[in-house]
Copies of this chain bind each other. A is one copy, B any other.
Amino acid sequence: MFRRVAELRYFVLNNKIRLSHIELIRSQFHPFQKSEIDTSVFLLDGTVKMPRPKRQSSSSGKEPVAKKAKKDDGSGSGSEPEKIEDATSDNTFASDAVNPEGKKWNFKIVSWNVNGIRAWMQKDGLDLIKKEDPDIACIQETKCSEIKLPMGAKPKGYKSYFMSAKKEGYAGVAVYSKVEPESVKYGIGDEEHDDEGRSITLEYKHFYVVTAYVPNAGRKLVTLDKRMDWDPKFLKHLHDLDALKPVIMCGDLNVAHLEIDLANPKGNHKNAGFTKEERSGFSNLLSAGFIDSYRHLYPDKTKAYTFWTYMMNARAKNVGWRLDYFVLSEKLKSSLCDNIIRSSVMGSDHCPITLLMRMGEQ
């Protein structure tokens, strides 16, 4: 019925072929994503058949990559064997990071602005999170009401918590947690902001986890007012929590704090994400007893960004912004092991960030 005419790995998005031969994929995608790419079959009617009989196989991550890639549906002619041996080991996300006392991390949390959970899942973003295997994963900009979530958006092994905006396809956050929290609070207690699905607070035995998608000040700063209304309210929310238990806050804070936190500070003082108002909002957070974990660990690290506009090939040129943060109660400083910016991980205009902590003994 159909004839195999090409043996390619591919990835199409917005009218562009994003990758073709496995060599190219390797140069672009994170090792764990590479392992998920399938053999494509080009049908004579012009469509492409993706032989993915089972995508749910939550393999423990020990299967050689090349083996998977060699899979063949047997209906093609002229297929060639996979020639490239993939040397990827499955320890890509391994880390021996330790806290200031030298004890190894025992708790991992990931934060990622996914820019649309549905598009992101098509790009195997969630699989990547499964591979990273965090205790908690917080995602922002789901742009999806809970009813429209695709199959598999609530992965096994995690409790899932979604908060969507009233407006369809706008904002929205979610949290995946291996351990069921003692309580979950949606929003920050402000009706206007909470209608936009911007924050979830999870209470655990010894700490809180808060994720946030902070309002964007908008082109020409049309929504700077909304943003500046958010900042003190959110700070109060964190402050109130901090009085009870230490807080791990993460998410897309939609601000680059200092000049070091974006590629082009000079040109952006009047643009959303780098106005003095937004920057001082972040400074207020730090003055109130919190730390920017990445900058705490890497005070002088330059060119460390978590967001690149899709325009002007910004990511390839690393013209980016650090907009995604882990912000910790100061008393958690002694538990901090590492904060990793996974800038090579694709799937969104933001990359994920990972926090490694030594919990339980502070």
Contacts and interface: CB of A to CB of B under 8 A. Distances in A.
Interface of A: 5-6, 8, 10, 12-21, 23-24, 27-28, 40, 42, 44-48, 313, 316
Given A6-B8, A8-B6, A44 B16 contact: no
A10 B15 contact: no
B6 A12 contact: no
Contact of A42 (B24, B40, B45, B313): B24
Given A5-B21, A5-B23, A45-B313, 9 more contacts: A12-B15, A12-B16, A17-B17, A17-B40, A20-B42, A24-B42, A24-B44, A24-B46, A28-B46
Contacts of A19: 42, 46
Contacts of A48: 16-17
A40 B42 CA distance: 17
B16 A13 contact: no
B15 A13 contact: yes
25 contacts: A5-B20, A5-B21, A5-B24, A8-B20, A10-B17, A12-B12, A12-B15, A12-B16, A12-B17, A16-B47, A16-B48, A17-B17, A17-B40, A17-B42, A19-B42, A20-B42, A21-B42, A24-B42, A24-B46, A27-B44, A28-B44, A28-B45, A28-B46, A45-B316, A47-B313
A118 B12 CA distance: 21
A46 B26 CA distance: 11
Contact of A6 (B14, B20, B40, B42): B20
Question: Would you call the interface of chain A mostly helix, strand, loop, or mixed?
Answer: mixed
Contacts of A13: 15
Contacts of A18: 46
A316 B46 CA distance: 9
Contacts of A23: 5
Nearest to A18: B46
A251 to B, nearest CB: 27
Contacts of A21: 5-6, 42
Contacts of A28: 44-46
A40 B6 CA distance: 15
A46 B16 contact: yes
A104 B86 CA distance: 65
A232 B58 CA distance: 64
Nearest to A122: B15
Contacts of A45: 28, 313, 316
A316 B8 CA distance: 24
A47 to B, nearest CB: 6
Nearest to A23: B5
A10 to B, nearest CB: 6
A79 to B, nearest CB: 13
Contacts of A15: 12-15
Nearest to A46: B18
A23 to B, nearest CB: 6
Nearest to A346: B46
A163 to B, nearest CB: 29
Nearest to A313: B45
Contacts of A40: 17
Nearest to A317: B45
In the complex, the 4 A-B pairs of residues with the closest C-beta atoms, listed nearest first: A45-B316, A6-B20, A5-B21, A20-B42
